[in-house]
A and B are shown apart, each in its own frame.
Chain A
Amino acid sequence: MAQGSFAEAGADLELVGITKRFPGFTAIEDLNLTIPAGSFFALLGPSGCGKTTTLRLVAGLEDATEGRILIGGKDVTHTKPFQRPVNTVFQSYALFPHMTILENVSFGLKRRKIADATTLAHEALRLVELDHLAQRKPQQLSGGQQQRVALARAVVNRPALLLLDEPLGALDLKLRRQMQIELKDIQSDVGLTFLHVTHDQEEAMTMADTVAVMNKGQIEQMGAPEELYELPRTSFVANFLGQSNLFTGKVISSGSNSIVVDVAGRKIEIPRERAQRHAGEVTIGVRPEKLMLHTSAPKPQSDVNIVGPGRVTDVSFSGVSTQYQVSVPGLGSMVVFAQNMVFGPVVNTGAEVWLTWNTDHGFGVADDPADGPRFTADTDTKSLAVQKREKLEAELEEA
């Protein structure tokens, strides 16, 4: 990186065979990832999945046990953080408490001896609409303002790659939506490559061009948000990115266009090209909003899957839609999202209902449903233990 100059544009990021081991556990296992220049890339995953470690490896704050990191084709694996054309917006913002906002924002520019550091810092502060607070100290600002300063402090350096470590996590919902839009604007204005780490699936889907879902140190699936949502390839993705109704059964007939799966005596058809596996025991699923509720048994049709009768066990009204929990014998509990076309819920708890969906909407995943049942209450011993372990792993990851 030449002293005193900005990166011309965003740069590609390439991770080749990255493995990171901490004493006692492996955070990342053989990770390969390419992020094209100028894109907004989101790494999505639960806490402890290795996403923050990945980010810290790219920033240089952590050394990879194995593998190489390339930025714009240049190997930076063994360079120090201050030598990399990368800036990070930290989860904690990490604004220097002994400096004013202006000094914070011009810090990186001054270290690189860029002329007009102060003018550029003011410009960056105007971009986030905080120039009037330039002489304040970070503690005098609200959380949202601090977040914008942290963003300005990183963006002002025009890094080839901007890393965002759950920077919106501490903001309330409204401010968060506003910042998401601002971030997206800045990204398209400045043309930088953004790598955004988050556990908020909605945030990842609304902001990123490409989303990679990470689990246990590996990328489960990567692609455009709608692609990931409509056609999840693993049960983890199916449940982490939105909700899914998953069933497991044997394939009983496999045609050229579709396969039919026997789930507890019911035949469920899914398109062949939307299934990862075509024979033997398979797991298939359908998104809750694709399901239709019927209060009487519907007539069998060739391109519609029908299950039922089942009992409504729970109804929760959320304004735009209503979520029904339906217990179907043999299939377990299913979730249905129904838009509120009429006033309020159409059926009440205890009602007998049938569920139908278009056969085109089903999908088949490559693995079996994840270890734990989906809708366990968070308070039972097992899930508490799992949460505790995940928290511990997250802490270890941060340490």
Chain B
Amino acid sequence: MAFGAFSGTATPVAVEPVARKRSKVALILLLPGILYLGLFFLVPFVQLIITSLQAPGLDIGLYVNAFKVDNYAIVIQSYGSHIARSFGYALIATILALAFSYPLAYFIGVKLRRFPLLQALGLTLVIAPFFISFLLRTFAWKQVFSDEGAVVTGLKALSLMGSGDHFTGTPAAVIFGLTYNFIPFMTLPIYTSLEKLDLRYVEAGNDLYASPTKTFLFITVPLSMPGIVSGSLLTFIPAAGDYINASGQFLGGSDTQMIGNVIEKNFLELQNYPAAAALSLILMAAILVLVGIYVKRSGTEDLI
């Protein structure tokens, strides 16, 4: 019997209770997470789908359950340009944030490696904006770019802007705001990748006849790809749904409304809940598809 425990036939019998016990422990540990997801993601999500299919009721703001798929066609027809604009702005902001963040992350993660104190300082400076509410920061930029602000008056004095031009309310201002607000989200993942970059690979690249430019393209960039991908996802997804920067109260104007602004307007002002819900679901689906294609193309499936 004592030897039986070690033989092949006896093992499954001995292991099974242990395995069952383990899976029970795992289940208990997972329970809070599952409950949380169920309560705060699944229930609202189902509610959102139901709302998006509702039909108008007896009074304004009252809707009855229905299966009105038309809602989707209607919102796409009326707000198609907003959806396109959202993704356009988000894409440009992501590219600009990447162009700005990569050198910054490279500098902090690679060049400052030998000076840990400076490295910590650099990272702190990247995170520092989070200490102030992003509404306040965006509002501050509105002040900076206002028609009476130094930037616009200066550009006007240099005749780079016409006397009747504004900067706030233009697409450029909205994209600027998006880029600015999401730079830390882009910088930190790239920093994490570059900080781990083994410089011996770079040396090996140089040794194998690759000029610094080629080494950067063939060695450094591919090795930091996980950071680039997660950084651009962390920028693109929230930027596409953002409604603060594009709002007229901040950097946007009536021509720069993004899908987030439309959803906000439909929910809070027009009380057209089905339209808002349908738009939310369209945004979600579109982001899922775009992100899926992006992750597939960049060859970093392990990330998700």
Smallest Cβ-Cβ distance to B218: which chain A residue: A107
Smallest Cβ-Cβ distance to B219: which chain A residue: A96
Instruction: Check: B238 CB closer than 8 A to any chain A CB.
Output: no
A-B contacts, 12 of them at CB < 8 A, read A80-B206, A80-B212, A82-B210, A87-B207, A88-B207, A90-B203, A90-B204, A98-B225, A107-B208, A108-B208, A108-B209, A111-B210
Closest 6 CB pairs of A and B: A108-B208, A94-B204, A111-B209, A81-B206, A94-B200, A98-B222
Instruction: Check: B223 CB closer than 8 A to any chain A CB.
Output: yes
Binding site for B on A (CB under 8 A): 59-61, 80-82, 86-88, 90, 92, 94-98, 107-108, 111-112, 153, 157, 399
Contact indicator A82/B200 (Cβ below 8 Å): no
Q: 8 extra interchain contacts, Cβ-Cβ under 8 A, other than A61-B203, A90-B204, A98-B225?
A: A60-B207, A61-B206, A82-B210, A88-B207, A94-B203, A94-B204, A96-B219, A98-B223
Instruction: Check: B163 CB closer than 8 A to any chain A CB.
Output: no
Instruction: Check: B67 CB closer than 8 A to any chain A CB.
Output: no
Contact indicator B207/A61 (Cβ below 8 Å): yes
CA distance A82 to B214 in the complex (A): 10
Contact indicator B210/A107 (Cβ below 8 Å): yes
Contacts of A90 on B, CB cut-off 8 Å?
Answer: 200, 203-204
Tally of A-B Cβ pairs under 8 angstroms: 60
Smallest Cβ-Cβ distance to B214: which chain A residue: A111
Contacts of A60 on B, CB cut-off 8 Å?
Answer: 206-207
Chain A interface mostly: loop
Contacts of B207 on A, CB cut-off 8 Å?
Answer: 59-61, 81-82, 86-88
Smallest Cβ-Cβ distance to A103: which chain B residue: B218
CA distance A207 to B202 in the complex (A): 30
Contacts of B211 on A, CB cut-off 8 Å?
Answer: 80, 82, 111
Contact indicator A96/B204 (Cβ below 8 Å): yes
Instruction: Check: B201 CB closer than 8 A to any chain A CB.
Output: yes
Contact indicator B206/A82 (Cβ below 8 Å): yes
Contacts of A111 on B, CB cut-off 8 Å?
Answer: 208-211, 214
Contacts of B209 on A, CB cut-off 8 Å?
Answer: 82, 108, 111-112, 157
Contact indicator A157/B203 (Cβ below 8 Å): no
Contacts of A59 on B, CB cut-off 8 Å?
Answer: 207
Closest CB in chain A relative to B221 CB, distance in Å = 10
Closest CB in chain B relative to A39 CB, distance in Å = 21
Contact indicator A97/B208 (Cβ below 8 Å): no
Greatest chain B CB density within 10 A among A61, A82, A86, A153 is at A82
Closest CB in chain B relative to A139 CB, distance in Å = 13
CA distance A306 to B152 in the complex (A): 100
Closest CB in chain B relative to A78 CB, distance in Å = 15
Closest CB in chain A relative to B153 CB, distance in Å = 48
Contact indicator A94/B201 (Cβ below 8 Å): yes
CA distance A87 to B218 in the complex (A): 18
Contacts of B222 on A, CB cut-off 8 Å?
Answer: 98
CA distance A28 to B117 in the complex (A): 30
Binding site for A on B (CB under 8 A): 114, 198, 200-201, 203-212, 214-215, 218-219, 222-223, 225
Contacts of A108 on B, CB cut-off 8 Å?
Answer: 208-209
CA distance A324 to B63 in the complex (A): 100
For B200, give its contact among A80, A92, A399 (CB under 8 Å): A92
Contacts of A61 on B, CB cut-off 8 Å?
Answer: 203, 206-207
CA distance A331 to B109 in the complex (A): 58
CA distance A97 to B204 in the complex (A): 12
CA distance A399 to B200 in the complex (A): 11
CA distance A97 to B206 in the complex (A): 16
Contacts of B210 on A, CB cut-off 8 Å?
Answer: 82, 107, 111
Using known A-B contacts A96-B219, A97-B223, determine if residue A87 contacts B208 with beta carbons closer than 8 Å. yes
Closest CB in chain B relative to A287 CB, distance in Å = 39
Greatest chain B CB density within 10 A among A107, A157, A399 is at A107
Smallest Cβ-Cβ distance to B208: which chain A residue: A108
CA distance A107 to B214 in the complex (A): 11
CA distance A150 to B212 in the complex (A): 21
Contacts of A96 on B, CB cut-off 8 Å?
Answer: 201, 204-205, 219
CA distance A112 to B225 in the complex (A): 25
CA distance A98 to B200 in the complex (A): 14
Contact indicator A153/B208 (Cβ below 8 Å): yes
Closest CB in chain A relative to B60 CB, distance in Å = 58
For A81, give its contact among B203, B218, B223, B225 (CB under 8 Å): B203
Contacts of A112 on B, CB cut-off 8 Å?
Answer: 209
Contacts of B198 on A, CB cut-off 8 Å?
Answer: 94
CA distance A399 to B203 in the complex (A): 13
Contacts of A399 on B, CB cut-off 8 Å?
Answer: 114
Smallest Cβ-Cβ distance to A1: which chain B residue: B209
Contacts of A157 on B, CB cut-off 8 Å?
Answer: 208-209
Closest CB in chain B relative to A103 CB, distance in Å = 10
CA distance A95 to B200 in the complex (A): 9
Greatest chain B CB density within 10 A among A60, A61, A80, A81 is at A81
Contacts of A86 on B, CB cut-off 8 Å?
Answer: 207
CA distance A90 to B210 in the complex (A): 16
Smallest Cβ-Cβ distance to A112: which chain B residue: B209
CA distance A61 to B208 in the complex (A): 12
Closest CB in chain A relative to B41 CB, distance in Å = 35
Smallest Cβ-Cβ distance to A56: which chain B residue: B203
Contacts of A82 on B, CB cut-off 8 Å?
Answer: 206-212, 215
Smallest Cβ-Cβ distance to B113: which chain A residue: A399
Smallest Cβ-Cβ distance to B209: which chain A residue: A111
CA distance A399 to B222 in the complex (A): 24
CA distance A345 to B198 in the complex (A): 51
Greatest chain A CB density within 10 A among B198, B201, B208 is at B208
CA distance A396 to B206 in the complex (A): 21
Closest CB in chain B relative to A157 CB, distance in Å = 7
CA distance A81 to B205 in the complex (A): 9
CA distance A112 to B210 in the complex (A): 8
Closest CB in chain A relative to B74 CB, distance in Å = 47
Contacts of B215 on A, CB cut-off 8 Å?
Answer: 82
Closest CB in chain B relative to A67 CB, distance in Å = 21
Contacts of B218 on A, CB cut-off 8 Å?
Answer: 107
Closest CB in chain A relative to B210 CB, distance in Å = 5
Closest CB in chain B relative to A105 CB, distance in Å = 10
Contacts of B203 on A, CB cut-off 8 Å?
Answer: 61, 81, 90, 94
Smallest Cβ-Cβ distance to B222: which chain A residue: A98
CA distance A399 to B225 in the complex (A): 26
Closest CB in chain A relative to B219 CB, distance in Å = 6
